[in-house]
Amino acid sequence: MVLSKKRARKVLEEIIALFPDAKPSLDFRNHFELLGAVMLSAQTTDAAVNKATPALFEAFPTPQAMADASESEISKHISRLGLYRNKAKFLKKCAQQLLDDFDGQVPQTREELESLAGVGRKTANVVLSVGFGIPAFAVDTHVERICKHHDIVKKSATPLEVEKRVMDILPPEKWLAAHQAMIYFGRAICHPKNPECEHYPQLYDFSSL
């Protein structure tokens, strides 16, 4: 049974309240590094990405440097990450597209971001919200799991359905805070196995509604 909009908002706001200072866990210094880090984070932990990116971006600090590098040169810096060969291919191609299509700058619309190699909707949403402060809501594995576990969406919901539901429940100014808080909540409390959400009764207290 999916929660009403009012109850679902209460759950999400309680999660935000648990982690009010949640910040992006990927390290980056500019839009190009953010884009690369988010691309690398697929099927890999943010901690592992943060170990790889300093040397990667020291070697290839700009789209031009990344585009000029060979896939094998890029691969050396990310070989401990999952799917690293594919990711090296995407990083090189994406960097070339930034040069060819966007004057070496990371674009600021979802459509343009999704035109880049290796960039899907989730990556585009993270870059928009974290990098540019443009309201967007990214759905990763934590967010999808939490929304299904807490009946904010139906169990069969797609990532896009999760995204649209949360965006309908919360005002745009809370989308980024919700995304960040849900990542921390998913790591610390709402685990894939043996979630500990029952220890936080405020999540289920709808008496004030």
Residues designated as active site: 122, 140
Sign (positive/negative) of CA torsion 78, 185, 190, 142? negative
The per-residue b/e assignment along 83-96, b for 16 or more CB within 10 angstroms, e otherwise, is ebeebbbbbbbbbb
Q: Which helix (H) or strand (E) holds 73?
A: helix 71-78
Phi-psi region of 153 (alpha: psi -120 to 50; beta: other; left: phi over 0): beta
Could you give the CA distance from residue 176 to residue 136 in angstroms, rounded to a whole number? 7
Question: Which amino acid, residue 116?
Answer: L
